[in-house]
Chains A and B, each alone.
Chain A
Amino acid sequence: MNRRTLLAGVAMGLALTTGGAAQAQMDKVKACFVYVGPIGDGGWTYQHHQGLLAVEAAYGDKVETAYQESVPEGADAERVLTQMALSGCNIIFTTSFGYMDATNSVAAKFPDVKFEHATGYKRESPNVAVYDARFYEGRAVIGTIAGRMTKSNKIGYIASFPIPEVIQGINSSFIHARKVNPDVTISVVWAYTWFDPAKEADAAKALIEQGVDVILQHTDSTAPLAEAAKTPGVIGFGQASDMAAYKPSPRVASIIDNWAPYYVKRVGMLLDGTWESTASWEGIAAGEVEIGEITDAVPAEVKAEAEAIRDAIAAGTYHPFTGPLNKQDGSAWLAEGEVAEDGVLAGMNFYVEGITGDIPQ
């Protein structure tokens, strides 16, 4: 039970609700992963797979792993999950928002198998847990760099789908860019895809043609960086993975999703019988969101400023959504010093004041 007391000290992002009762310890766990893209995407799925490798490294022959790549979100996912549950998986990680309903429906049929769904919010059975990362904390850091680095005062954001996670990212980036540069404006392009290199490159190109010189992306490929590399003076950031191939410029920093601590922790809990249905939402403090190396293309004082924000978030002394903040229509949202509640962030469907354009509904 040492591990349990140790884990109790870990700050949980959200309130824990106790699901199933503690089970017996296990000698060997089969951990399975469902991926939305290829592990060679250089971004989102690649990082989840690094988490799988970390689980293997941590538990050696006490753990067996299996994974399936490029599983479409929808009915197909249900078939894959059922097959995994039947083939002896003890815990199944479903690593994309679109697997939410399939995860809950299969979990209801296999009460002895644990299911962990990434970025979702539904837990219909006691054997389902959800987990997410506070990517907006990373956006606060790179938004600061973007605001300082832009010469045209135009920053661009390649957005995937209009879901709360993406809107949090746009708002957090803009708030912190505006904080250091009152003249900055943000152009948002909706790509309606998580992964389409050609389209992402086109979106980056369109932004550059509109005079944007700093590109932030919320899509999974390195194509926007490759496009930025063609135009001198345009910079971007690694997304999900470090994307170090584009160092020192155009990639001047990155937001890295590090799922390894969570995956190792959850498989460990299953091994020693302490697994419970939880909703985890960790960020920089827990090491789940990391800021990749800020390269020499960024002046030292800007780098120091960005790192100070990162460290303040990690220490818990600063929250990226701290008032005074108004909504886009000018109505008050957060008073001076007030911090956004997780519930509001998890359902975020509005821009903050200063962003032009509408969120597709």
Chain B
Amino acid sequence: MDMFGGINPAVLIASLMAASVPIMLAAIGELVVEKSGVLNLGVEGMMIMGAVCGFVTAVGTGSAVLGFLGGAAGAMAMALVFAVLTQVLLANQVATGLALTLFGLGLSSLIGQGYVGIKPPPTGAVPFGPLADIPVIGRILFSHDPIVYLSIAAIAAVWAVLRFTRTGLILRAVGESHDAAHALGYKVTRIRVLAILFGGAMAGLGGAYVSLVRVPQWTDGITSGAGWIALAIVVFAAWKPWRVLIGAYLFGGITVLQLNLQAAGARIPVEYLSMSPYLITILVLVLMSADRARAAMNAPAALGKNFHASR
């Protein structure tokens, strides 16, 4: 049953699925935001606000479900600040996004002051009963908490909406050419604000997953850069939902695999193992952008450009 140096592949795959959830949720949210033509670099700030608001809500109410909702709401509030600044006041998106991250890191630390060393209510696995006992498959598919399934469902839903629905078509139109969409009578600003809020909610869920499930506790700086990895995965995925899933699993998988290889005493130098997730991300980005025309075609044409109706 054990392959490569005493690591059980079923256990490994189950682990990487859980480890990838925060970056996957944040990345699929950011994909929708970027598809609408907005570049929000504040993912890290929204995630950590989601982590702290989720934690505070869960501890206060004693319910993990409410915790996740609180996390989504907290990050949405951050996203709303970004939306007002960039869509109403037409501030520079890159600068505002960076500021949002710094603001989020500081504010989360302030909110979390009294919550260090407290344990949140547990989030259990979904009870699949006998299904979980199926060898290999049971461990991989039926041993997770609800958020793991939610993250995969979110990928499928975003893919379906963007591809098959009128809503998705409008969203993409706004992201490709806001002037054309505006000329057709679509409310560009309103659509973008809604997309930004959706992105915030997803980042918040991802952050709450970190503080409620993956590390069940609150400490300052708990997300430690996951938001930036999510941003990279959106580019890596060439703005395609299923590739976000692949990117998140690849990154999470290599991270989990390198730790498992170390724990199993693999005879590979540790430096290479630790570097590998980042190295492979860079490698794939290079390979993808080698074909310059195709890489550029996939980015929404109006990405990062502010829209003003008078033009």
Show the binding face of A for B, using Cβ within 8 Å: 37-38, 40-42, 70, 156, 187-190, 192-193, 195-203, 205-207, 209-210, 212, 221-223, 226-227, 229, 243-245, 356-358, 360
**Contact A206-B262, Cβ < 8 Å, known A190-B270, A197-B224, A245-B117:** yes
**B259–A189 contact, CB under 8 A?**
yes
**B219–A198 contact, CB under 8 A?**
no
22 A–B contacts from the bound complex (CB under 8 Å): A40-B113, A187-B263, A188-B262, A189-B263, A190-B274, A193-B224, A198-B210, A198-B222, A198-B223, A198-B224, A202-B15, A202-B259, A206-B260, A206-B263, A207-B263, A209-B15, A221-B219, A223-B217, A229-B216, A244-B117, A245-B119, A360-B271
Determine whether B196 belongs to the interface, using a CB cutoff of 8 Å to chain A: no
**A209–B217 contact, CB under 8 A?**
no
Q: Report the separation of the CA atoms of residues A205 and B7 in the bound assembly, to the nearest whole angstrom.
A: 13
Determine whether B161 belongs to the interface, using a CB cutoff of 8 Å to chain A: no
Q: Report the separation of the CA atoms of residues A100 and B288 in the bound assembly, to the nearest whole angstrom.
A: 41
> CB within 8 A of A212: which of B217, B222, B223, B263?
B263
Q: Which residues of B contact A212 (CB under 8 A)?
A: 263
**B109–A40 contact, CB under 8 A?**
yes
> CB within 8 A of B265: which of A192, A198, A200, A356?
A356
**B15–A38 contact, CB under 8 A?**
no
**B219–A197 contact, CB under 8 A?**
yes
**A38–B224 contact, CB under 8 A?**
no
5 closest residue pairs by CB, A with B: A38-B220, A206-B259, A245-B117, A210-B263, A197-B215
Show the binding face of B for A, using Cβ within 8 Å: 6-8, 11-12, 15, 19, 22, 109, 112-113, 116-119, 210, 214-217, 219-224, 226, 255-256, 259-260, 262-265, 269-271, 274
Q: Report the separation of the CA atoms of residues A192 and B275 in the bound assembly, to the nearest whole angstrom.
A: 10
**Contact A358-B113, Cβ < 8 Å, known A156-B263, A189-B262, A196-B224:** no
Q: Which residues of A contact B113 (CB under 8 A)?
A: 40
Query: Looking across the interface, which residue of chain B has its beta carbon closest to that of A359?
Result: B270
Q: Which residues of A contact B19 (CB under 8 A)?
A: 202
Query: Looking across the interface, which residue of chain B has its beta carbon closest to that of A196?
Result: B224
Q: Report the separation of the CA atoms of residues A192 and B7 in the bound assembly, to the nearest whole angstrom.
A: 22
**B220–A40 contact, CB under 8 A?**
yes
Query: Looking across the interface, which residue of chain B has its beta carbon closest to that of A224?
Result: B215
Query: Looking across the interface, which residue of chain B has its beta carbon closest to that of A220?
Result: B219
**A226–B255 contact, CB under 8 A?**
no
**B256–A202 contact, CB under 8 A?**
yes
Expressed in whole angstroms, the minimum distance between the Cβ of B3 and any Cβ of chain A is 14
**A42–B216 contact, CB under 8 A?**
no
Expressed in whole angstroms, the minimum distance between the Cβ of B297 and any Cβ of chain A is 35
Expressed in whole angstroms, the minimum distance between the Cβ of A299 and any Cβ of chain B is 26
**A209–B11 contact, CB under 8 A?**
yes
Query: Looking across the interface, which residue of chain A has its beta carbon closest to that of B122?
Result: A230
Q: Report the separation of the CA atoms of residues A234 and B215 in the bound assembly, to the nearest whole angstrom.
A: 16
User: Which residue, B19, B118, B221, B256, has most C-beta atoms of chain A within 10 A?
Assistant: B221
Expressed in whole angstroms, the minimum distance between the Cβ of A254 and any Cβ of chain B is 13
Expressed in whole angstroms, the minimum distance between the Cβ of A167 and any Cβ of chain B is 13
Q: Report the separation of the CA atoms of residues A356 and B112 in the bound assembly, to the nearest whole angstrom.
A: 41
Q: Report the separation of the CA atoms of residues A74 and B223 in the bound assembly, to the nearest whole angstrom.
A: 22
Query: Looking across the interface, which residue of chain B has its beta carbon closest to that of A189?
Result: B262
Expressed in whole angstroms, the minimum distance between the Cβ of A188 and any Cβ of chain B is 7
Q: Which residues of B contact A358 (CB under 8 A)?
A: 269-270
**B226–A40 contact, CB under 8 A?**
no
Q: Report the separation of the CA atoms of residues A15 and B63 in the bound assembly, to the nearest whole angstrom.
A: 57
Q: Report the separation of the CA atoms of residues A37 and B6 in the bound assembly, to the nearest whole angstrom.
A: 36
Q: Report the separation of the CA atoms of residues A210 and B255 in the bound assembly, to the nearest whole angstrom.
A: 16
Q: Report the separation of the CA atoms of residues A221 and B217 in the bound assembly, to the nearest whole angstrom.
A: 10
Q: Which residues of A contact B264 (CB under 8 A)?
A: 187, 210
**A201–B214 contact, CB under 8 A?**
yes
Q: Which residues of A contact B210 (CB under 8 A)?
A: 197-198
**A223–B215 contact, CB under 8 A?**
yes
**A357–B265 contact, CB under 8 A?**
yes
Known contacts A223-B215, A229-B216; 19 further A-B pairs (Cβ under 8 A): A37-B220, A40-B219, A188-B262, A189-B262, A189-B263, A190-B274, A195-B219, A196-B224, A197-B222, A198-B22, A200-B215, A202-B256, A203-B263, A206-B15, A206-B260, A226-B217, A243-B117, A357-B265, A360-B270
